[in-house]
Amino acid sequence: MRYLVLSDVHANLTAFEAVLKDAGKLGTDYEFIWCLGDIVGYGPDPNDCVDLLRSMPHLCLAGNHDWAALGRLDIRTFNADARKAVLWTRDHLSDENLAYLDALPTTFVLGEFTLVHGSPRGPIWEYILDPLVAALNFPHYQTPYCLVGHTHTPSIFKQLDDKGGCDIIAPTYGETIQLDQHHQIINPGSVGQPRDSDPRAAYAMLDIENLTWEFRRVTYDIKSVQGRMREAAMPERLINRLDHGW
């Protein structure tokens, strides 16, 4: 069974649609979507993104921006631009979509995979950006593989030994990776706001029977999203960063 694995859509409908188109046909090229959180926040299309995800067979985890939109996090820890986007998102989400976000789980386990937004020991908040933090997280989940989002950076952290040894593997595109039985923490990157200096939308395809993983990137019409953000009077810094992928 093939899963389309995506994360951090951040209310960017144009990027989300480009990913779905690139991924192929539901039922033929993949059967199910795993979304690792932050479906909303920063972008101009929160309801459209939640509606589109809800129209497809999927499982979605809660992210920090989803919780912020619900008022479940203290947004004083967010920077000023992110705070402004959170308040705009909160004002624009429908009651039905707020209720949907409110019911999202923070952790999900299926077979050999654990799914969280941030990290196994801090599912909403912790960022896994380096091998040291990844190594500290390996004892906090029971399956061989853990899928995470939150950093907006595609990567694989692979455990080398139980003394803290950990490798970071950068993504290669157009290549299928065979997952071995090492503990691994895998991040597909961000659909709607990449932060690895590549502005293309990121996602991944996972075959859970053959244990293969493929990082993918797709271009989308960034200008049209920026136009909607300007209409919504969103902070210029959030608009410009989409051009640069940071």
- Contacting residues toward Zn ion, per CB under 5 A: 8, 38
Q: By the 8 A CB rule, do 46 and 92 touch?
A: yes
Q: By the 8 A CB rule, do 114 and 108 touch?
A: yes
Q: Which residues pair with 37 in a beta bridge?
A: none
C-beta of 6: minimal distance to Zn ion in Å?
Answer: 12
Closest CB to Zn ion among residues 10, 158: 10
C-beta of 65: minimal distance to Zn ion in Å?
Answer: 6
Closest CB to Zn ion among residues 35, 146: 35
**CA neighbor of 201 nearest in space, from 214, 188, 211:** 188
CA–CA gap between residue 16 and residue 7 (Å, rounded):
10
Q: By the 8 A CB rule, do 241 and 193 touch?
A: yes
CA–CA gap between residue 240 and residue 76 (Å, rounded):
23
**CA neighbor of 183 nearest in space, from 166, 170, 169:** 166
CA–CA gap between residue 101 and residue 41 (Å, rounded):
12
C-beta of 181: minimal distance to Zn ion in Å?
Answer: 30
Closest CB to Zn ion among residues 159, 193: 193
Closest CB to Zn ion among residues 22, 38: 38
C-beta of 175: minimal distance to Zn ion in Å?
Answer: 26
Closest CB to Zn ion among residues 8, 17: 8
CA–CA gap between residue 128 and residue 125 (Å, rounded):
10
C-beta of 245: minimal distance to Zn ion in Å?
Answer: 14
Reading the block at residue 76, the tokens are 């004083």
Closest residue to Zn ion in the complex (CB): 38
- CA 134, 157, 216, 12: dihedral to nearest 10 degrees? 0
- Longest distance between any two alpha carbons in the chain, whole Å: 52
Closest CB to Zn ion among residues 179, 191: 191
C-beta of 71: minimal distance to Zn ion in Å?
Answer: 18
